């Protein structure tokens, strides 16, 4: 038993106008959540040009009868030509921006690679330094434990270093 949102099935219908087109784009946001999403899509005219179905044949005929596709494009009105020029200008701007975005992504990737290399280099240096410090602390702790024990063991080497000749006088007091 899931939530009613997951169980609810919403049919996506293609409007009649788009059924005759060689392409259609559907962006569905039914699985929305509170998190950000990345949406990647591509447009592909998937027509079987060699052996088209009836629907594909209608789409191909629509493309062939379009005055902007075939030789009748020269006879198109000035308004259509102006709209095409505006569209081409907008596409040029868009492609320029996409090239800049691609360049910025490449720069970002280069910076990420440099940062990763720097962090990996620092990791090796820090790990080596930290390992040396741990070994040094263990050695110092061992010497300190030996010195503390020598205070209570009169036969130890460190005891004689600590007290020297006075060690005989200390025995008399005990």
Residues with Cβ < 8 Å from 100, sequence gap 6 or more? none
Judge whether 162 lies within some domain: no
Distance CA 82, CA 112 (A): 44
Domain count, the chain: 1
Judge whether 157 lies within some domain: no
Task: Say which DSSP state 162 is in.
Answer: H
- Lowest pLDDT segment from 34-43, 59-68, 92-101: 34-43
Query: What average pLDDT does this structure show over 21-46?
Result: 59
Judge whether 101 lies within some domain: no
- Rg of the chain, C-alpha, whole Å: 41
Average pLDDT, the chain: 72
Judge whether 87 lies within some domain: no
Residue 56, domain extent: 10-65
Judge whether 146 lies within some domain: no
Q: Which two three-digit tokens encode residue 54? A: 């009836």
Judge whether 58 lies within some domain: yes
Judge whether 151 lies within some domain: no
The model's pTM: 0.34
Is residue 126 very low, low, confident or very high in pLDDT (cuts 50, 70, 90)? very high
């Amino acid at each position: 038993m899931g939530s009613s949102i997951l169980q609810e099935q919403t049919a996506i219908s293609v409007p009649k106008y788009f059924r005759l087109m060689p392409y259609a784009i559907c962006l569905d946001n039914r699985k929305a959540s509170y998190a950000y999403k990345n949406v990647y899509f591509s447009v592909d005219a998937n027509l079987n040009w060699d052996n088209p179905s009836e629907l594909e044949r209608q789409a191909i005929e629509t493309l062939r009868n379009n005055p902007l596709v075939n030789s009748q494009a020269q006879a198109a009105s000035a308004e259509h030509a102006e709209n095409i020029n505006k569209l081409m200008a907008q596409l040029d701007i868009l492609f320029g921006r996409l090239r800049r975005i691609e360049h910025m992504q490449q720069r970002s990737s280069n910076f990420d690679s440099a940062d990763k290399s720097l962090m990996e280099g620092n990791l090796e240096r820090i790990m080596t330094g930290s390992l040396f410090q741990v070994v040094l602390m263990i050695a110092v702790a061992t010497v300190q434990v030996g010195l503390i024990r020598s205070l209570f063991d009169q036969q130890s080497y460190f005891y004689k270093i600590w007290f020297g000749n006075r060690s005989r006088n200390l025995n008399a007091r005990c």
